[in-house]
Amino acid sequence: MNLFNLPHTELLQHLINGLTLGAIYSLIALGYTMVYGILKFINFAHGEILMLGAYAGYFLYYFLCEGSQTGGFAIIAFVISLIVAMLISSFLGVIIERIAYRPLRKAPRLAPLLSAIGVSIILMNLAALFFGTKSRKFDYPFDNTALQLGNISVTPNQIMILIVGIILMASLKLFIDKTRLGKAMRATSQNQAVASLMGINVNFIISLTFAIGSALAAVAGIFMSMEFKLYPTMGQMAGLKAFIAAVVGGIGNISGAMLGGILLGLLETFGVVIIGIPQGLKDTIAFSVLIIILLFRPSGLLMKNIREKV
Amino acid sequence: MLNFILLIIIYIGIYAIAGIGLNLIVGYTGLLSLCQAAFIAIGAYTTAIFMTALHFGFFEAMLLSGLVAAIFGILIGIPTLRLKGDYLAIATLGFGEIVKNIIVNWDSVTKGPMGINGIPGPQAFGITFSAIDKVPWAVLIWAILALCYYFVRRIVRSRIGRALEAIREDEIAASAMGINTAKYKIGAFTTGAFMAGIAGSLFAAYNQSVAPLTFDFMMSIMILCMAVLGGLGNNFATVVGVIIIVIASEIPRLVGISHIIPPQINQVIFGLILVLMMIYRPQGIIGRVKLNYAKIIKEEILHLER
């Protein structure tokens, strides 16, 4: 099939599916990019924070309304679970940074990276141990029958993901660009030593960064377990792809992470329907994108190319 | 019991070959590679395909496996040359996933998720290697390990080894000293991949079968753990790390409690090893041999005067 033979409605349909997927990637990518911007290392455990956040939301939601309910109460329960899951994830992110990354802040680059991989493996396997390896499905708190807009069908869940995603990303952007704390965060990412001379509590800012990134990951995790499935290794592939999205946009750049996430979501969706990449090889798309970007524009779409100097 | 000990010895040998290869990449050159399992898989499948479908002998297939893995090492090495630590880790991780995906999906050649069975036992030196008698296997594998160990030892104690270590310590400074960093980085990657390919070939031939899911991300992590536990940048330490981890993960089976220990426990322990070693003893339990620069400089001067 080729792009020009596709009917417009079908194209729009894939566009919406791609945007939904992209919004989820963007939410995760923000966590990577913020941490990378400040600490210059990949938080490999970010995907696992996402997974644990999703489990926290799942269990709380079923505790609150014992499943199968829809209607007003279920929606309130869902909102409460979402917020509590964000808090739990933030807490987890901060704790992980304290235990596994902070002691290594002055160590060679390889050390925090290996430590992060270690944390990721520990969390993934503990989750498998305690929650089982079977996949679960987060039931929709609302009626999820697709709405027909012309010839396109959009599920309420997709609409929610897009709206919540946009609100969260816009408020993060505002927070970083307009508030004092956001300014402190930008200063810390430019130069920690100077930032701390200006009276910024660098440790607090780093914890805050982990907290915000992890909270966004929890939201993405819950969305993923509604749209797809919930299982202990869900964070691995999602995390990798979101990281790729962050690299595509230009790692360390907030708008870049959003753009990269959306682009990757679209590429994956259209890669399967238009180019005809088999489903089994869908994950290869993201990695090919990564290698291409790193070859031709290693600092990402939205960042200037800077040569490293001594 | 004897059989069990032989099994452990065989696995130590196979993992040690792959581990020394990884140590050359991660420990000496400082490039974090997370796709050693993919190179092992390439080696294992090359052997499996060439021995079953094309009826190659084992030793030809083994060399070929090493070479194919090395070619892939070059292929993944070239685009990743521009990448520093973290990016490289992700790119290699991605490469590992791609290899696994292709193996699972390329049914006509790799038989998909089922894997390839019935790889014949090699025949050499008048001995037929079979699954029943493990002694020849153990001897063969440890002989190859000894060769690899000696080979890498020669590399790392030469100019090449010092160039690799210079790249690890400071790439910019190294290239300012006239070291062709691209050449050495690809070289390290290729050599490490070659050894992983050999290890994979032995793995396939010894088990007489290969299945794609054996060679997952966790296998790369396990080998990385072995190198980290012993001490990065020290081959002897890597072998010690391999011995400790292989024995530790087989003990439950020996004592007969493997069925009550969930497999995840092993992996949680690998994770703990990585975190705790990085925080409390990043040089590993044995540590790294410090180069004696005075001696090296003296030797170099002698070499120049000659």
* Residue B20 near residue B195, CB atoms below 8 Å: yes
The pLDDT score that the predictor gives to residue B149 is 93
H or E segment at B209?
strand B209-210
Per DSSP, the residues of B142-198 read HHHHHHHHHHHHHHHTSHHHHHHHHHHH-HHHHHHTT--HHHHHHHHHHHHHHHHHH
Specify if A304 maps to a domain.
no
Q: Which of A122, A237, A294 sits opposite B82 (nearest CB)?
A: A294
Specify if A3 maps to a domain.
no
H or E segment at B124?
strand B123-124
Specify if A90 maps to a domain.
yes
Q: Which of B90, B97, B228 sits opposite A114 (nearest CB)?
A: B228
Nearest CA in chain B to A98: B279
Q: Which residues in chain A come in under a pLDDT of 70?
A: 1-7, 67-70, 304-310
Rounded Cα gap, residues A237 and A230, in angstroms: 13
- Asked if residue B32 has pLDDT above 60, the reply is yes
* Residue A22 near residue A257, CB atoms below 8 Å: no
The pLDDT score that the predictor gives to residue A52 is 95
Partners of residue A124 in chain B, C-beta under 8 Å = 267
Specify if A303 maps to a domain.
no
The pLDDT score that the predictor gives to residue A215 is 95
Cβ-defined contact of B274 to A115 (cutoff 8 Å):
yes
pLDDT digits (tens, 9 = 90+) for B136-179: 888 888 999 999 999 999 998 888 988 998 888 888 888 888 88
Helices A234-249/A254-270 angle, 10° precision: 120
B263 contact partners, CB below 8 Å, separation of at least 6: none
A contact test, residue of B82, B90, B219 with most A CBs within 10 A: B90
Rounded Cα gap, residues A140 and A137, in angstroms: 9
Nearest CA in chain B to A101: B279
* Residue B237 near residue B98, CB atoms below 8 Å: no
Cβ-defined contact of B224 to A283 (cutoff 8 Å):
no
The pLDDT score that the predictor gives to residue B75 is 84
> Which B residues in the span 261-300 are in contact with A, Cβ-Cβ below 8 Å?
262, 264-265, 267-268, 270-275, 277-279, 282
Specify if A308 maps to a domain.
no
The pLDDT score that the predictor gives to residue A23 is 93
Q: Is B104 on the interface with A (CB under 8 A)?
A: yes
How large is the average pLDDT for residues B49-72?
A: 88
Chains A, B: CB contacts under 8 A, how many?
131
Q: How many CB atoms lie within 10 A of CB B159?
A: 12
- Asked if residue B297 has pLDDT above 60, the reply is yes
pLDDT digits (tens, 9 = 90+) for B249-275: 887 777 777 777 777 888 888 889 889
Nearest CA in chain A to B113: A280
Angle at B276 between CA A231 and CA B26, to 5 degrees: 85
Domain range for A63 is: 8-296
Q: How many domains does chain A have?
A: 1
Q: Which of A115, A119, A294 sits opposite B87 (nearest CB)?
A: A294
Q: B84: exposed, middle or buried (C-beta count within 10 Å: 0-12, 13-18, 19+)?
A: middle
Half-sphere exposure of A11 (CA within 13 A, CB side): 8
Q: Is B87 on the interface with A (CB under 8 A)?
A: yes
Instruction: Give the CATH number, domain containing residue A236.
Output: 1.10.3470
Partners of residue B217 in chain A, C-beta under 8 Å = 236
Rounded Cα gap, residues B155 and B159, in angstroms: 8
Specify if A178 maps to a domain.
yes
Among candidate residues A267, A157, A134, A145, the one with its CA nearest the CA of residue A222: A157
Cβ-defined contact of B85 to A113 (cutoff 8 Å):
yes
The pLDDT score that the predictor gives to residue A222 is 93
Q: B72: exposed, middle or buried (C-beta count within 10 Å: 0-12, 13-18, 19+)?
A: buried
Specify if A305 maps to a domain.
no
How large is the average pLDDT for residues B193-209?
A: 91
Full set of structural domains in chain B with CATH: 2-305 (1.10.3470)
Q: Which of B87, B105, B221 sits opposite A117 (nearest CB)?
A: B221
DSSP secondary structure code for residue A148 in this structure: E
The pLDDT score that the predictor gives to residue A138 is 82
The pLDDT score that the predictor gives to residue A282 is 78
The pLDDT score that the predictor gives to residue A4 is 55
Nearest CA in chain B to A295: B79
Q: Which residue has the higher pLDDT, B64 or B117?
A: B64
Cβ-defined contact of B90 to A42 (cutoff 8 Å):
yes
Distance of CA A138 to the CA centre of its chain: 18
Q: How many CB atoms lie within 10 A of CB B132?
A: 7
Q: Is B94 on the interface with A (CB under 8 A)?
A: yes
Rounded Cα gap, residues A117 and A106, in angstroms: 18
Specify if A307 maps to a domain.
no
> For residue A149, which phi and psi values (nearest 5 degrees)?
-110, 100
Q: Is B75 on the interface with A (CB under 8 A)?
A: no
pLDDT digits (tens, 9 = 90+) for A122-144: 999 999 999 988 888 888 777 77
Cβ-defined contact of B268 to A110 (cutoff 8 Å):
no
Tokens linked to B83? 């990448």
Q: Which residue has the higher pLDDT, B34 or B40?
A: B40
pLDDT tier, B292 (very low <50, low <70, confident <90, very high otherwise):
low
Per DSSP, the residues of A174-202 read HHHHHSHHHHHHHHHHH-HHHHHHTT--H
Partners of residue A237 in chain B, C-beta under 8 Å = 97
